[in-house]
Structure 1
Protein backbone atom coordinates (compact mmCIF):
# COMPACT_ATOMS: atom_id res chain seq x y z
CA UNK A 1 0.00 0.00 0.00
CA UNK A 2 2.75 2.47 0.91
CA UNK A 3 4.56 1.80 -2.34
CA UNK A 4 1.37 2.16 -4.36
CA UNK A 5 0.62 5.53 -2.76
CA UNK A 6 4.12 6.82 -3.44
CA UNK A 7 5.14 7.02 0.22
CA UNK A 8 8.47 5.25 -0.29
CA UNK A 9 9.67 7.40 -3.18
CA UNK A 10 12.95 6.00 -4.55
CA UNK A 11 13.38 3.68 -1.55
CA UNK A 12 13.41 -0.01 -2.47
CA UNK A 13 14.69 -1.35 0.85
CA UNK A 14 12.13 -0.74 3.53
CA UNK A 15 10.85 -2.47 6.64
CA UNK A 16 8.48 -1.86 9.55
CA UNK A 17 8.58 -3.24 13.07
CA UNK A 18 6.11 -6.02 13.80
CA UNK A 19 4.56 -4.21 16.77
CA UNK A 20 3.48 -0.84 18.09
CA UNK A 21 5.46 0.57 21.00
CA UNK A 22 4.96 3.55 23.31
CA UNK A 23 6.70 6.72 24.44
CA UNK A 24 8.23 5.28 27.61
CA UNK A 25 9.77 2.31 25.80
CA UNK A 26 11.53 4.59 23.32
CA UNK A 27 12.44 7.26 25.86
CA UNK A 28 14.33 4.78 28.07
CA UNK A 29 17.31 4.67 25.70
CA UNK A 30 20.09 7.29 26.07
CA UNK A 31 20.90 9.42 23.03
CA UNK A 32 24.11 7.48 22.31
CA UNK A 33 22.03 4.34 21.83
CA UNK A 34 20.22 5.95 18.91
CA UNK A 35 23.47 7.06 17.33
CA UNK A 36 25.08 3.63 17.59
CA UNK A 37 22.03 1.57 16.65
CA UNK A 38 22.73 -0.70 13.68
CA UNK A 39 26.50 -0.35 13.95
CA UNK A 40 28.93 -3.20 14.65
CA UNK A 41 31.49 -3.22 17.45
CA UNK A 42 34.98 -4.76 17.28
CA UNK A 43 33.55 -8.22 17.99
CA UNK A 44 31.13 -7.87 15.07
CA UNK A 45 28.16 -7.61 17.41
CA UNK A 46 25.49 -5.24 16.16
CA UNK A 47 24.01 -2.70 18.55
CA UNK A 48 20.24 -3.14 18.52
CA UNK A 49 17.33 -1.39 20.17
CA UNK A 50 14.48 -3.58 21.36
CA UNK A 51 11.04 -1.99 21.23
CA UNK A 52 8.52 -4.19 23.07
CA UNK A 53 4.90 -4.28 22.01
CA UNK A 54 2.53 -2.44 24.35
CA UNK A 55 -1.16 -3.40 24.53
CA UNK A 56 -3.71 -0.59 24.46
CA UNK A 57 -5.81 -0.63 27.63
CA UNK A 58 -9.36 0.61 27.12
CA UNK A 59 -12.32 1.13 29.45
CA UNK A 60 -15.81 0.21 28.35
CA UNK A 61 -18.00 3.17 27.42
CA UNK A 62 -15.15 5.69 27.34
CA UNK A 63 -12.96 7.50 24.84
CA UNK A 64 -9.24 8.09 25.32
CA UNK A 65 -6.16 9.09 23.34
CA UNK A 66 -3.26 6.63 23.20
CA UNK A 67 0.18 7.23 21.71
CA UNK A 68 1.90 4.44 19.81
CA UNK A 69 4.92 4.41 17.50
CA UNK A 70 5.48 2.24 14.45
CA UNK A 71 9.24 2.12 13.91
CA UNK A 72 10.87 1.33 10.60
CA UNK A 73 14.01 1.51 8.49
CA UNK A 74 14.38 2.81 4.95
CA UNK A 75 17.48 2.77 2.73
CA UNK A 76 17.65 5.13 -0.23
CA UNK A 77 20.37 6.52 -2.54
CA UNK A 78 22.28 9.51 -1.21
CA UNK A 79 21.24 11.56 -4.22
CA UNK A 80 17.54 10.70 -3.87
CA UNK A 81 14.97 12.35 -1.58
CA UNK A 82 14.68 10.63 1.79
CA UNK A 83 11.49 8.94 2.94
CA UNK A 84 10.84 11.94 5.17
CA UNK A 85 10.50 14.02 2.01
CA UNK A 86 8.59 11.53 -0.14
CA UNK A 87 6.12 10.80 2.69
CA UNK A 88 5.92 14.37 3.98
CA UNK A 89 2.54 15.08 2.34
CA UNK A 90 0.39 12.95 4.61
CA UNK A 91 -2.76 14.17 2.88
CA UNK A 92 -1.78 11.96 -0.06
CA UNK A 93 -1.67 8.69 1.89
CA UNK A 94 -2.78 9.29 5.49
CA UNK A 95 -6.45 8.37 5.07
CA UNK A 96 -5.74 5.00 3.47
CA UNK A 97 -3.09 4.22 6.07
CA UNK A 98 -5.40 5.24 8.92
CA UNK A 99 -8.18 3.02 7.59
CA UNK A 100 -5.83 0.04 7.38
CA UNK A 101 -4.45 0.51 10.91
CA UNK A 102 -7.89 1.20 12.41
CA UNK A 103 -9.29 -1.97 10.84
CA UNK A 104 -6.47 -4.09 12.29
CA UNK A 105 -6.74 -2.65 15.80
CA UNK A 106 -10.52 -2.47 16.15
CA UNK A 107 -12.46 -5.35 17.69
CA UNK A 108 -16.13 -6.27 17.88
CA UNK A 109 -16.60 -4.24 21.07
CA UNK A 110 -13.93 -1.56 20.62
CA UNK A 111 -13.61 0.97 17.81
CA UNK A 112 -10.18 2.50 17.14
CA UNK A 113 -9.57 5.63 15.07
CA UNK A 114 -5.93 5.93 14.01
CA UNK A 115 -4.58 9.46 13.51
CA UNK A 116 -1.25 8.98 11.70
CA UNK A 117 1.46 11.60 11.50
CA UNK A 118 4.20 11.95 8.83
CA UNK A 119 7.31 9.81 9.46
CA UNK A 120 10.00 11.50 11.51
CA UNK A 121 13.46 10.64 12.88
CA UNK A 122 12.94 8.82 16.17
CA UNK A 123 14.10 11.64 18.44
CA UNK A 124 11.81 14.15 16.78
CA UNK A 125 8.92 11.70 16.73
CA UNK A 126 9.07 11.45 20.52
CA UNK A 127 8.60 15.20 20.84
CA UNK A 128 5.85 15.49 18.24
CA UNK A 129 4.07 12.34 19.39
CA UNK A 130 3.99 13.45 23.02
CA UNK A 131 2.46 16.76 21.95
CA UNK A 132 -0.12 15.06 19.71
CA UNK A 133 -1.46 12.70 22.40
CA UNK A 134 -1.93 15.58 24.85
CA UNK A 135 -3.63 17.73 22.23
CA UNK A 136 -6.02 14.97 21.13
CA UNK A 137 -6.64 13.97 24.75
CA UNK A 138 -7.64 17.53 25.60
CA UNK A 139 -9.93 17.77 22.58
CA UNK A 140 -11.71 14.56 23.60
CA UNK A 141 -12.10 15.78 27.17
CA UNK A 142 -13.34 19.25 26.23
CA UNK A 143 -15.73 18.21 23.46
CA UNK A 144 -17.34 15.46 25.54
CA UNK A 145 -17.67 17.64 28.65
CA UNK A 146 -19.03 20.65 26.76
CA UNK A 147 -21.49 18.56 24.75
CA UNK A 148 -22.75 17.02 28.00
CA UNK A 149 -23.12 20.46 29.56
CA UNK A 150 -24.94 21.97 26.59
CA UNK A 151 -27.44 19.11 26.50
CA UNK A 152 -28.14 19.26 30.24
CA UNK A 153 -27.97 22.89 31.37
CA UNK A 154 -26.26 25.11 28.82
CA UNK A 155 -22.77 26.55 28.56
CA UNK A 156 -20.36 25.51 31.33
CA UNK A 157 -18.12 27.82 33.33
CA UNK A 158 -14.57 27.36 32.03
CA UNK A 159 -11.44 28.34 33.93
CA UNK A 160 -7.83 27.83 32.86
CA UNK A 161 -4.98 27.93 35.37
CA UNK A 162 -1.51 28.41 33.87
CA UNK A 163 0.18 29.23 37.17
CA UNK A 164 0.56 25.65 38.45
CA UNK A 165 4.14 24.88 37.40
CA UNK A 166 4.67 22.41 34.57
CA UNK A 167 1.05 22.05 33.52
CA UNK A 168 -2.07 23.91 32.48
CA UNK A 169 -5.29 23.02 34.30
CA UNK A 170 -8.61 23.31 32.46
CA UNK A 171 -11.71 23.12 34.66
CA UNK A 172 -15.32 22.92 33.53
CA UNK A 173 -18.11 23.38 36.08
CA UNK A 174 -21.63 24.80 36.38
CA UNK A 175 -23.69 26.68 38.95
CA UNK A 176 -26.73 24.73 37.77
CA UNK A 177 -25.30 21.29 38.55
CA UNK A 178 -22.83 20.85 41.41
CA UNK A 179 -22.06 17.29 40.29
CA UNK A 180 -20.62 18.61 37.02
CA UNK A 181 -17.00 19.43 37.80
CA UNK A 182 -14.34 18.14 35.41
CA UNK A 183 -10.64 19.01 35.18
CA UNK A 184 -8.05 18.24 32.52
CA UNK A 185 -4.35 18.30 33.34
CA UNK A 186 -2.37 19.42 30.26
CA UNK A 187 1.33 18.73 31.05
CA UNK A 188 3.89 21.16 29.64
CA UNK A 189 7.27 19.59 28.80
CA UNK A 190 10.51 21.38 29.80
CA UNK A 191 11.24 22.25 26.16
CA UNK A 192 7.76 23.75 25.65
CA UNK A 193 6.14 26.97 26.81
CA UNK A 194 2.84 27.48 28.60
CA UNK A 195 1.87 29.84 25.78
CA UNK A 196 2.04 26.94 23.33
CA UNK A 197 -0.48 24.96 25.37
CA UNK A 198 -2.68 28.01 25.95
CA UNK A 199 -2.81 28.81 22.22
CA UNK A 200 -3.89 25.25 21.43
CA UNK A 201 -6.58 25.29 24.12
CA UNK A 202 -7.82 28.74 23.11
CA UNK A 203 -8.07 27.83 19.42
CA UNK A 204 -10.04 24.66 20.14
CA UNK A 205 -12.50 26.54 22.35
CA UNK A 206 -13.04 29.06 19.56
CA UNK A 207 -13.53 26.27 17.01
CA UNK A 208 -16.35 24.68 19.04
CA UNK A 209 -18.14 27.94 19.83
CA UNK A 210 -17.11 28.68 23.41
CA UNK A 211 -17.96 32.30 24.19
CA UNK A 212 -15.50 33.06 26.97
CA UNK A 213 -13.37 31.56 29.72
CA UNK A 214 -11.49 32.73 32.81
CA UNK A 215 -7.69 32.64 32.56
CA UNK A 216 -5.22 32.66 35.45
CA UNK A 217 -1.61 33.16 34.36
CA UNK A 218 -0.08 33.91 37.76
CA UNK A 219 -1.09 33.97 41.41
CA UNK A 220 -3.66 36.69 41.94
CA UNK A 221 -3.89 37.61 38.25
CA UNK A 222 -7.10 36.52 36.50
CA UNK A 223 -8.92 37.78 33.44
CA UNK A 224 -11.81 36.82 31.21
CA UNK A 225 -11.00 35.98 27.60
CA UNK A 226 -13.74 36.71 25.07
CA UNK A 227 -13.60 34.12 22.28
CA UNK A 228 -16.02 35.96 20.02
CA UNK A 229 -13.72 38.90 19.27
Structure 2
Protein backbone atom coordinates (compact mmCIF):
# COMPACT_ATOMS: atom_id res chain seq x y z
CA UNK A 1 0.00 0.00 0.00
CA UNK A 2 1.28 3.53 -0.73
CA UNK A 3 2.73 5.37 2.27
CA UNK A 4 2.52 9.16 2.54
CA UNK A 5 4.66 11.14 4.98
CA UNK A 6 2.41 13.41 7.03
CA UNK A 7 3.35 17.08 6.76
CA UNK A 8 1.57 20.16 8.14
CA UNK A 9 -0.03 20.89 4.76
CA UNK A 10 -1.75 17.49 4.79
CA UNK A 11 -2.65 17.39 8.48
CA UNK A 12 -5.85 19.43 8.23
CA UNK A 13 -6.93 17.85 4.97
CA UNK A 14 -6.67 14.34 6.37
CA UNK A 15 -8.15 15.18 9.76
CA UNK A 16 -4.97 13.85 11.34
CA UNK A 17 -5.42 12.72 14.97
CA UNK A 18 -2.41 10.52 15.54
CA UNK A 19 -0.23 7.82 14.08
CA UNK A 20 -0.42 5.28 12.67
CA UNK A 21 -3.48 6.03 10.56
CA UNK A 22 -4.47 4.49 7.24
CA UNK A 23 -6.57 6.51 4.79
CA UNK A 24 -8.37 4.89 1.89
CA UNK A 25 -9.11 7.09 -1.12
CA UNK A 26 -11.46 5.95 -3.87
CA UNK A 27 -10.68 6.19 -7.56
CA UNK A 28 -12.64 9.45 -7.83
CA UNK A 29 -10.38 11.07 -5.23
CA UNK A 30 -12.84 11.05 -2.32
CA UNK A 31 -12.10 9.63 1.12
CA UNK A 32 -13.76 6.35 1.93
CA UNK A 33 -12.42 4.90 5.17
CA UNK A 34 -9.96 5.78 7.90
CA UNK A 35 -8.39 3.15 10.15
CA UNK A 36 -6.73 4.40 13.33
CA UNK A 37 -4.00 2.47 15.10
CA UNK A 38 -2.18 -0.66 14.03
CA UNK A 39 -4.26 -2.85 11.73
CA UNK A 40 -3.50 -6.41 10.59
CA UNK A 41 -2.71 -6.65 6.90
CA UNK A 42 -5.79 -8.86 6.41
CA UNK A 43 -8.01 -6.09 7.75
CA UNK A 44 -6.48 -3.55 5.38
CA UNK A 45 -6.87 -5.88 2.41
CA UNK A 46 -10.50 -6.53 3.33
CA UNK A 47 -11.32 -2.83 3.47
CA UNK A 48 -9.46 -2.18 0.20
CA UNK A 49 -11.34 -4.99 -1.55
CA UNK A 50 -14.68 -3.73 -0.24
CA UNK A 51 -13.97 -0.23 -1.48
CA UNK A 52 -12.75 -1.43 -4.87
CA UNK A 53 -15.54 -3.94 -5.34
CA UNK A 54 -18.56 -2.25 -3.83
CA UNK A 55 -17.79 1.48 -3.99
CA UNK A 56 -18.23 1.86 -0.26
CA UNK A 57 -19.75 5.10 0.94
CA UNK A 58 -17.68 7.58 2.91
CA UNK A 59 -17.30 6.65 6.55
CA UNK A 60 -14.90 7.31 9.39
CA UNK A 61 -14.17 3.71 10.33
CA UNK A 62 -15.69 0.32 9.51
CA UNK A 63 -17.71 -1.41 12.20
CA UNK A 64 -15.35 -4.37 11.98
CA UNK A 65 -12.32 -2.23 12.83
CA UNK A 66 -10.77 -3.77 15.95
CA UNK A 67 -9.95 -1.81 19.07
CA UNK A 68 -6.17 -1.59 19.61
CA UNK A 69 -5.01 -4.27 22.02
CA UNK A 70 -4.79 -3.28 25.67
CA UNK A 71 -6.92 -0.19 25.25
CA UNK A 72 -10.45 0.90 25.96
CA UNK A 73 -11.19 2.16 22.47
CA UNK A 74 -11.74 5.68 21.20
CA UNK A 75 -14.79 6.05 23.48
CA UNK A 76 -14.03 4.65 26.94
CA UNK A 77 -16.98 3.32 28.97
CA UNK A 78 -16.80 6.08 31.60
CA UNK A 79 -17.87 8.69 29.05
CA UNK A 80 -21.44 7.54 29.70
CA UNK A 81 -20.96 6.10 33.20
CA UNK A 82 -18.40 8.27 35.05
CA UNK A 83 -18.22 6.02 38.13
CA UNK A 84 -16.63 3.29 36.02
CA UNK A 85 -13.45 5.38 36.05
CA UNK A 86 -13.06 4.44 39.73
CA UNK A 87 -12.83 0.72 38.92
CA UNK A 88 -9.66 -1.05 37.72
CA UNK A 89 -9.58 -1.54 33.96
CA UNK A 90 -7.03 -2.49 31.31
CA UNK A 91 -4.87 0.60 30.86
CA UNK A 92 -3.73 1.44 27.36
CA UNK A 93 -1.24 4.17 28.32
CA UNK A 94 0.59 4.56 31.62
CA UNK A 95 2.72 7.57 30.71
CA UNK A 96 -0.07 10.18 31.08
CA UNK A 97 -0.71 8.82 34.58
CA UNK A 98 2.89 8.59 35.81
CA UNK A 99 4.14 11.86 34.32
CA UNK A 100 2.32 13.86 37.00
CA UNK A 101 4.64 12.56 39.73
CA UNK A 102 7.96 14.00 38.48
CA UNK A 103 6.18 17.22 37.51
CA UNK A 104 4.76 17.70 41.00
CA UNK A 105 8.01 16.72 42.73
CA UNK A 106 10.18 18.99 40.57
CA UNK A 107 7.85 21.96 41.02
CA UNK A 108 7.73 21.46 44.79
CA UNK A 109 11.50 21.04 44.95
CA UNK A 110 11.95 24.27 43.00
CA UNK A 111 9.80 26.09 45.56
CA UNK A 112 12.09 24.89 48.36
CA UNK A 113 15.21 25.82 46.38
CA UNK A 114 13.89 29.35 45.90
CA UNK A 115 13.05 29.53 49.61
CA UNK A 116 16.63 28.53 50.41
CA UNK A 117 17.81 31.47 48.35
CA UNK A 118 15.99 33.78 50.74
CA UNK A 119 16.60 31.93 54.00
CA UNK A 120 19.21 29.14 54.04
CA UNK A 121 18.17 26.27 56.24
CA UNK A 122 19.90 22.91 56.55
CA UNK A 123 16.73 20.92 57.16
CA UNK A 124 14.95 22.59 54.26
CA UNK A 125 17.96 21.90 52.04
CA UNK A 126 17.89 18.23 53.01
CA UNK A 127 14.17 17.99 52.28
CA UNK A 128 14.64 19.60 48.87
CA UNK A 129 17.31 17.00 48.12
CA UNK A 130 14.88 14.21 48.99
CA UNK A 131 12.30 15.75 46.69
CA UNK A 132 14.83 15.96 43.87
CA UNK A 133 15.87 12.35 44.42
CA UNK A 134 12.25 11.21 44.37
CA UNK A 135 11.68 13.18 41.16
CA UNK A 136 14.69 11.53 39.50
CA UNK A 137 13.46 8.08 40.56
CA UNK A 138 9.96 8.80 39.24
CA UNK A 139 11.41 9.93 35.92
CA UNK A 140 12.61 6.39 35.18
CA UNK A 141 9.18 4.69 34.91
CA UNK A 142 7.80 7.84 33.30
CA UNK A 143 10.35 7.62 30.49
CA UNK A 144 10.00 3.86 30.07
CA UNK A 145 6.21 4.02 29.87
CA UNK A 146 6.45 6.95 27.47
CA UNK A 147 8.56 4.85 25.12
CA UNK A 148 6.20 1.90 25.52
CA UNK A 149 3.11 4.01 24.88
CA UNK A 150 4.67 5.52 21.76
CA UNK A 151 5.14 2.04 20.30
CA UNK A 152 1.83 0.54 21.41
CA UNK A 153 0.19 1.10 18.01
CA UNK A 154 3.23 0.64 15.79
CA UNK A 155 3.03 -3.07 15.12
CA UNK A 156 2.67 -6.53 16.60
CA UNK A 157 6.16 -6.66 18.12
CA UNK A 158 7.21 -5.40 21.54
CA UNK A 159 5.64 -1.96 22.15
CA UNK A 160 8.75 -0.83 24.02
CA UNK A 161 11.20 -1.70 21.25
CA UNK A 162 8.83 -0.34 18.61
CA UNK A 163 8.60 2.93 20.52
CA UNK A 164 12.34 3.13 21.16
CA UNK A 165 13.15 2.57 17.50
CA UNK A 166 10.53 5.08 16.40
CA UNK A 167 11.70 7.77 18.82
CA UNK A 168 15.38 7.34 17.95
CA UNK A 169 14.59 7.40 14.24
CA UNK A 170 12.53 10.59 14.49
CA UNK A 171 14.31 12.22 17.43
CA UNK A 172 15.17 15.45 15.62
CA UNK A 173 12.03 15.72 13.49
CA UNK A 174 11.06 18.99 15.16
CA UNK A 175 7.86 19.42 13.17
CA UNK A 176 6.52 16.48 15.19
CA UNK A 177 5.01 17.35 18.57
CA UNK A 178 5.96 13.91 19.87
CA UNK A 179 9.62 14.39 18.92
CA UNK A 180 9.64 17.85 20.48
CA UNK A 181 8.08 16.43 23.64
CA UNK A 182 10.79 13.76 23.79
CA UNK A 183 13.56 16.35 23.42
CA UNK A 184 12.09 18.46 26.21
CA UNK A 185 11.80 15.33 28.35
CA UNK A 186 15.43 14.41 27.74
CA UNK A 187 16.51 17.93 28.69
CA UNK A 188 14.46 17.82 31.91
CA UNK A 189 15.94 14.43 32.79
CA UNK A 190 19.54 15.50 32.17
CA UNK A 191 19.09 18.68 34.20
CA UNK A 192 17.45 16.77 37.07
CA UNK A 193 20.15 14.06 37.16
CA UNK A 194 22.87 16.70 36.90
CA UNK A 195 21.42 18.77 39.73
CA UNK A 196 21.08 15.71 41.96
CA UNK A 197 24.71 14.75 41.36
CA UNK A 198 25.74 18.35 42.03
CA UNK A 199 23.69 18.48 45.23
CA UNK A 200 25.08 15.19 46.57
CA UNK A 201 28.65 16.14 45.75
CA UNK A 202 28.45 19.67 47.12
CA UNK A 203 26.70 18.71 50.34
CA UNK A 204 26.20 21.63 52.72
CA UNK A 205 28.34 23.85 50.50
CA UNK A 206 25.28 24.24 48.30
CA UNK A 207 24.03 26.67 50.95
CA UNK A 208 26.95 28.98 50.20
CA UNK A 209 26.43 32.20 48.28
CA UNK A 210 27.86 31.43 44.83
CA UNK A 211 26.76 27.82 44.54
CA UNK A 212 23.34 28.57 45.98
CA UNK A 213 22.63 31.19 43.32
CA UNK A 214 23.96 29.02 40.48
CA UNK A 215 21.99 25.99 41.67
CA UNK A 216 18.82 28.08 41.86
CA UNK A 217 19.29 29.37 38.31
CA UNK A 218 19.80 25.85 36.95
CA UNK A 219 16.72 24.72 38.88
CA UNK A 220 14.62 27.48 37.32
CA UNK A 221 16.00 26.58 33.89
CA UNK A 222 14.89 22.98 34.42
CA UNK A 223 11.47 24.19 35.55
CA UNK A 224 11.15 26.31 32.41
CA UNK A 225 12.00 23.34 30.20
CA UNK A 226 9.57 21.20 32.22
CA UNK A 227 6.71 23.58 31.52
CA UNK A 228 7.63 23.64 27.83
CA UNK A 229 7.54 19.85 27.67
CA UNK A 230 4.27 19.81 29.59
CA UNK A 231 2.70 22.27 27.18
CA UNK A 232 3.69 20.17 24.18
CA UNK A 233 2.65 16.94 25.90
CA UNK A 234 -0.70 18.39 26.89
CA UNK A 235 -1.31 19.34 23.29
CA UNK A 236 -0.65 15.74 22.26
CA UNK A 237 -2.94 14.28 24.93
CA UNK A 238 -5.87 16.62 24.33
CA UNK A 239 -5.69 17.03 20.55
Fold-level similarity (TM above 0.5):
no
Q: TM-score, normalising length from structure 1? A: 0.28
Q: TM-score, normalising length from structure 2? A: 0.27
Higher strand share: 1
Structure showing greater Rg = 2
